[in-house]
C-alpha cells in the first residue's frame, strides 16, 4: 500500500530531525520528536516506548537500543541510563540524546560499538522528571523549584528504603520506574545528576550493620561498586582528578561512597541494588546544575568515552541459566556468590537466568531451589568486558521438575530488621543476612 503524501512528509521530517541533533536544550516536544525520528530512521536497532506518565501527563520516554530492541534475549544483559531525575539538573538529559545519536550512527561503522550493541540491550531514559525541567524557566547553577516534580516531591527521596521507613507518597514517576525495574532484568545502571563532579556508589543510607557508624555504608559488593565508579571517573576528562567543584570538597580519584558524602533516604540507586538486582551508581556531571547551552558540546566530549566504557561493565562476572531435569528454566532460584549474600537474595528471572557482577577472581557460586539441596560450583572469572560476554555457568537440577512459587522481598527496611536481630543475638553480618534470606524463602 502506498503511503499518502502527508505521511511521507511526516516521515522525512522525523528522519531529518534524527540526522541533525544540535547542542542545545530540547524541551518536551522537541525531545519526543527527536526520539521518534531516531526510531523511524533505525527501526530494527531501536524500540521507543513510554514507561508511564508524569504528574502533568508527559510521557516518560525510553529508547531501547540493541540487536533485539523489542524484547529480552537469553544471555544478553540489560543496561540502563536515567537522567534529569531532578528537573533542574540538565546536562545528563542532553548528553544522553547525543549518546543515542553516537550509538545509532556508529553501528556497523565502529567495530566496538557494533559488538556492544549486538551483545547488550541498552535502555536510555533522557528525563525522569519532564515536569520539573519544563518548570525551570530561569536556569540556575544551584537551585530551582524545578528540582522537584509537579507535586513538589524529590524523586530521589521517594523510593522504598532498606534502612528506615520512607513515609513519602510514591509519585507516578517513581512508580513507573519501579514497575520498569520489575519488568526487566536490569544488571547495571547509572543515574545522571548535576551540582558536583563525582561518581557516587551505594549505599546512600546505612546503619550499624553496614558500618555507617564509621562514616561509610558498605554493601556486600563494595569492591565491584568501587570498580564501577572508578571506571567512569577514570575515563572522564577531569572527574578522576577529584578536585570537586570548590576547594572545600574533594573526592579522591573522583569517587565517593554515597553515605560518606551525605546520608540519603529513599534514593534510587539503593533501591535498584536491593530490590532490582541491579547495580546502579550516581553520576554527578556538572558543578553548575543548569549550565548555558553553549557548554553542552564540551560536556559531551568530557563524558563520551566514560559513558561507553561504563556500559561495557555490564559484562563483568558470571551469568547463566538454572534448569530442571527436563531442561526447562527454573525461575525464582536463588543464585549468589559465596561470602557476599544480598539482604534480598538475587533470583533467576522467568527464563531461569541469573547475572552476577563480579571482579576477576575465583568464586564459589551457590544456586538454590527452595526445598532442594543447593548446588555449588567454583568458577574462575576473567575480565570479559572486552569480549562483551560474562563467563557462562549454568546449573541443572536433575531432581527438580516443578516451578518454585513466585517469591519477592517485601518493600520494608530490611536492614532495620537486621539491626534488631544483631542487638538480640550479636551474630556476624554473614549469618544475619543468611537468616533474613532464610526467612524470605520460608515465607
Residue 328, all three cell numbers: 526447562
Q: How many residues in the chain? A: 443
Name 393's Cβ contacts closer than 8 Å, sequence gap at least 6: 318, 319, 320, 365, 377, 379
Separation between Cα atoms, residue 327 and residue 343, nearest integer Å: 29
Using the structure block, give the residue that is written with the C-alpha cell 536510555.
Answer: 124
Q: What are phi and psi of 442, to 5 degrees?
A: -65, -30
Other beta carbons less than 10 A from residue 211's beta carbon: 17
Angle at 99 between CA 234 and CA 283, to 5 degrees: 45
Active site annotation includes 56: no
169, 298, 358, 390 from 362: Cα distances, Å: 44, 41, 10, 14
Separation between Cα atoms, residue 374 and residue 188, nearest integer Å: 27
Q: Is 376 helix (H, G, I), strand (E, B) or coil?
A: strand
Angle at 243 between CA 242 and CA 244, to 5 degrees: 95
Per the DSSP assignment, residues forming a β-bridge with 371 are none
Separation between Cα atoms, residue 111 and residue 96, nearest integer Å: 21
15, 72, 225, 291 from 38: Cα distances, Å: 7, 21, 33, 26
Using the structure block, give the residue that is written with the C-alpha cell 539491626.
Answer: 419
Radius of gyration of the chain (CA): 22
Separation between Cα atoms, residue 336 and residue 345, nearest integer Å: 7
Catalytic residue among 284, 336, 353, 417: 284
Per the DSSP assignment, residues forming a β-bridge with 395 are 322
The residues annotated as belonging to the active site are 284
Amino acid at each position: 500500500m502506498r503511503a499518502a503524501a502527508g505521511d511521507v512528509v511526516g516521515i522525512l521530517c522525523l528522519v531529518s530531525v534524527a540526522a541533525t541533533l544540535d547542542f542545545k536544550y530540547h524541551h518536551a516536544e522537541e525531545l519526543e520528536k527527536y526520539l521518534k525520528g531516531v526510531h523511524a530512521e533505525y527501526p530494527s536497532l531501536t524500540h521507543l516506548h513510554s514507561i508511564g506518565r508524569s504528574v502533568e501527563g508527559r510521557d516518560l520516554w525510553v529508547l531501547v537500543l540493541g540487536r533485539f530492541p523489542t524484547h529480552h534475549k537469553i544471555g544478553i544483559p540489560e543496561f540502563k541510563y536515567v537522567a534529569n531525575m531532578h528537573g533542574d539538573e540538565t546536562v545528563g538529559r542532553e548528553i544522553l540524546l547525543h549518546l543515542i545519536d553516537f550509538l545509532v550512527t556508529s553501528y556497523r561503522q565502529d567495530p566496538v560499538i557494533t559488538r556492544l550493541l549486538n551483545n547488550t540491550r541498552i535502555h536510555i531514559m533522557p528525563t525522569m522528571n519532564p515536569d520539573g525541567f519544563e518548570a525551570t524557566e530561569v536556569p540556575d547553577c544551584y537551585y530551582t523549584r524545578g528540582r522537584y516534580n509537579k507535586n513538589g516531591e524529590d524523586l530521589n527521596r521517594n523510593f522504598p528504603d532498606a534502612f528506615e521507613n520512607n513515609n513519602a507518597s510514591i509519585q507516578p514517576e517513581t512508580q513507573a520506574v519501579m514497575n520498569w525495574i520489575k519488568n526487566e532484568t536490569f544488571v547495571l545502571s547509572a543515574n545522571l545528576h548535576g551540582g558536583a563532579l563525582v561518581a557516587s556508589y551505594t549505599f546512600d543510607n546505612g546503619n550499624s550493620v553496614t558500618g555507617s557508624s564509621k562514616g561509610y555504608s558498605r554493601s556486600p559488593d563494595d569492591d565491584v561498586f568501587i570498580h564501577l565508579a572508578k571506571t567512569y571517573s577514570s575515563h572522564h576528562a577531569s572527574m578522576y582528578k577529584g578536585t570537586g567543584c570548590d576547594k572545600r570538597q574533594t573526592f579522591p580519584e573522583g569517587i565517593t561512597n554515597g553515605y560518606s558524602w551525605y546520608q540519603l533516604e529513599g534514593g534510587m540507586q539503593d533501591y535498584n541494588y536491593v530490590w532490582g538486582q541491579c547495580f546502579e551508581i550516581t553520576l554527578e556531571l556538572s558543578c553548575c546544575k543548569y549550565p548555558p547551552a553553549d557548554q553542552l558540546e564540551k560536556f559531551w566530549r568530557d563524558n563520551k568515552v566514560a559513558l561507553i566504557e561504563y556500559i561495557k561493565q555490564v559484562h563483568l562476572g558470571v551469568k547463566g541459566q538454572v534448569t530442571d531435569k527436563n531442561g526447562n528454566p527454573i525461575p525464582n532460584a536463588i543464585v549468589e556468590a559465596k561470602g557476599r549474600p544480598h539482604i534480598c537474595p538475587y533470583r533467576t528471572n522467568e527464563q531461569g537466568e541469573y547475572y552476577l557482577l563480579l571482579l576477576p577472581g575465583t568464586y564459589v557460586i551457590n544456586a538454590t531451589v527452595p526445598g532442594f539441596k543447593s548446588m555449588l560450583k567454583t568458577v574462575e572469572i576473567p575480565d570479559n568486558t572486552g569480549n562483551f560476554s560474562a563467563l557462562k555457568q549454568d546449573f541443572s537440577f536433575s531432581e527438580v521438575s516443578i516451578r518454585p512459587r513466585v517469591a519477592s522481598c517485601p518493600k520494608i527496611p530490611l536492614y532495620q530488621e537486621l539491626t534488631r536481630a544483631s542487638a538480640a543475638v550479636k551474630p556476624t553480618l554473614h549469618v544475619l543476612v543468611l537468616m533474613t534470606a532464610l526467612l524470605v524463602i520460608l515465607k
